[in-house]
Homo-oligomer: A and B are copies of this chain.
Amino acid sequence: MTENQTDDRPLAGIRVLDLTRALAGPYATLLLAGLGAEVIKLEDPVGGDLARENSPYLGKDGVTVGRSDPDDVSFSHLTRSRGKSGITLDLKHEAAGEVFADLVRGCDVVVENFTAGTAARLGVDHDTVREINPRVVYLSLSGFGQDARAGSKAMDVLVQALSGVMYTSGEPGEPPVRLGIPVADMLAPVFGVIGVLAALERRHRTGTGDWVDVSMLGALTSFVAIENWGAMAAAGMEARTGRTVHRLSPFGVFECKDGWVAVVAVHDKLATGLFAAMGAPELGADPRFATRDARVAHAVELEARIEDWSRTCTLAEALDALEARGVPAAPVRTPEEALTDPDTLRRRESVPVVHPVHGPSDLHTAGIPITFTEAATGFDDVLPLHLGEHNEQVYRDLLGYDDDRLRELRDRGVI
């Protein structure tokens, strides 16, 4: 409930009613919050978002596997609920519909990621919302879309498998690779936010909202689809892409004494630099490696030569040698190294995890990876540490409910 008259974030003034749980939905509303929207997270009065129960927790004793203090909060909830107010409402209660309608009347956006069909059963679906407030932009995130077969399971690993992304990652002849980040869970909300913002732009022309429907499988498959798999298959190219790419050789990842280095030397000048870095400039005159076509034709041999060299170096030595010759190269970093990159921290693409009671930790989490020059980004200093933490502010201050009404809702277990 920020009433900051000088809020210069791009979505200041947009209010979001957030019915989401787990990861995909909360990540969508997290992005909206970081861009300045006011997000009201609605949870069941009993238990709330299951992400509250994800181990590990952060509290006064730092990171713990179990929960021992009322202020211990799961890392998942802590990071995904930044900048959101939290209210409770039992959507299954007979008295919930009226409260929900009051909330919807004051909102611009509603976001849900129930299993397809559940929102209708709860009476919080798009039809119901449009009836109450036709200006609302309603975003549904699901595994396979709102028109999908009922009961389809939408876990990230299953969607990764279906999308083709697992198959393309890894060496020919080796097992498929599960990506180490929940890319299906994350990509659908990013496209969902695009849909919401596009529908808001349209609302300026038409005065009415829309129903935005994004599926995890569709979002990830559309990413896979940007590569020309059909044409590559027609040309006899492998769809399992491996850690080096022969048709661009030398291109890929090579082992060092103490790590791995990514190298791109696809043109003659870069190959010459690479050979110099390897202390083997004579390779540039070797007919097997002298031209791009020759290098591609002898890619396996060339890669073996490169790795014979890189394995004699530390990662730092390899990078120094390559950079000195202007050869594009980078270390394969761990997530922790990536998250604590000074430039990434300065640009707030990665940000410290802050406990609302115990303050900043030495952990890092996702920021908003968009920098504006005029507008600001960032999260309001609000987070529903406890269930229904902002019931008073929302139900009393925003909706105008009086003491009697609030007491009645509490007594009946509606909120």
Interface residues of A (CB under 8 A from B): 10-14, 23, 27, 31, 35, 56, 58, 62-63, 65, 75-76, 79, 126, 144-148, 153, 155, 157-170, 175-183, 186-187, 190-195, 197-202, 204-206, 208-215, 217-219, 221-235, 239-243, 251-253, 255, 260-262, 264, 328-339, 341, 343-344, 347, 349-350, 353, 362-375
Contact = CB atoms under 8 A, between A and B. Distances in A.
Contacts of A341: 162, 217, 221
Nearest to A350: B225
Given A178-B252, A223-B366, 10 more contacts: A145-B347, A153-B328, A163-B338, A167-B332, A213-B373, A221-B350, A225-B339, A225-B349, A225-B367, A230-B339
A157 B262 CA distance: 7
A178 B242 contact: yes
A182 B226 contact: yes
A10 B199 contact: yes
B158 A243 contact: no
B349 A221 contact: yes
Contact of A333 (B144, B161, B197): B161
Given A180-B240, A194-B197, A222 B338 contact: no
B182 A227 contact: yes
Nearest to A159: B330
Contact of A226 (B155, B219, B366, B370): B366
